[in-house]
Amino acid sequence: MCSQTRPIQSIAFKDAIGKIQLKMKTTLARVLPILFLCVSASAVTAGDFESAILSPSSLTLQINVPADRFLIIRNFTQEGGSTRGFVTVNTTSGKANVLTAAIVDPTNTTPLEVINNVVVAGPAGVTVTCPSDATDCFISYRKGSD
């Protein structure tokens, strides 16, 4: 009698293992694509913009924009000071100041200034300057391809 119960237990055990393996495979098949989408979405949306903090004592920030690229400046602000920081674009046809920093002062009760976006087509050299009377300047930008 004992020899007959072991094969039955063995068959039942193998059945249980098979069901667990099947359940794990289907769960993994459902979870894996969702996990992949979550990971890839965060990598795509966060990597485009670069930011820099300039202090008055630091050198200016130089950004080179090649011929087949463009530059979008999304934000340029400075904390404190009365002289504004500025962004200068130098191309083969000339040089011009294209953007001044919006002054952010937490003690001031006046409304915040509008922060404009600027697009610079290459080839160009872009220089960002922080004035000596400001605490810090902050810029965020993205380089794109045509």
> What does the pLDDT look like over 64-75, one tens digit per residue?
999 989 999 999
17-26, 30-39, 99-108, 115-124: range with highest mean pLDDT: 115-124
Lowest mean pLDDT among 38-42, 77-81, 137-141: 38-42
CATH code (residue 131)? 2.60.120.340
Question: Total structural domains in the chain?
Answer: 2
How far is Cα 32 from Cα 28, in angstroms, rounded to an integer? 6
**Which tops the pLDDT comparison, 141 or 25?**
141
pLDDT score, position 81: 84
Write the pLDDT tens digit of every residue in 87-144.
999 999 999 999 999 888 777 767 777 888 899 999 999 999 999 888 889 999 998 8
Asked if residue 55 and residue 43 are part of one domain, the reply reads no
CB atoms within 10 A of CB 134: 22
Write the pLDDT tens digit of every residue in 48-62.
888 888 888 877 899
pLDDT band at 44 (very low <50, low <70, confident <90, very high): very low
Asked if residue 40 and residue 54 are part of one domain, the reply reads no
How far is Cα 61 from Cα 145, in angstroms, rounded to an integer? 21
pLDDT greater than 50 at residue 41: no
Q: Could you tell me the residue range of the domain that residue 138 belongs to?
A: 50-145
Q: Token pair of 97, please?
A: 């100041």
Per DSSP (E only), the strands in the chain are 50-54, 61-65, 69-79, 86-91, 94-100, 102-104, 118-121, 124-129, 136-145
Asked if residue 57 and residue 32 are part of one domain, the reply reads no
pLDDT score, position 40: 43
pLDDT score, position 121: 92
Asked if residue 56 and residue 127 are part of one domain, the reply reads yes
pTM, two decimals, is 0.63
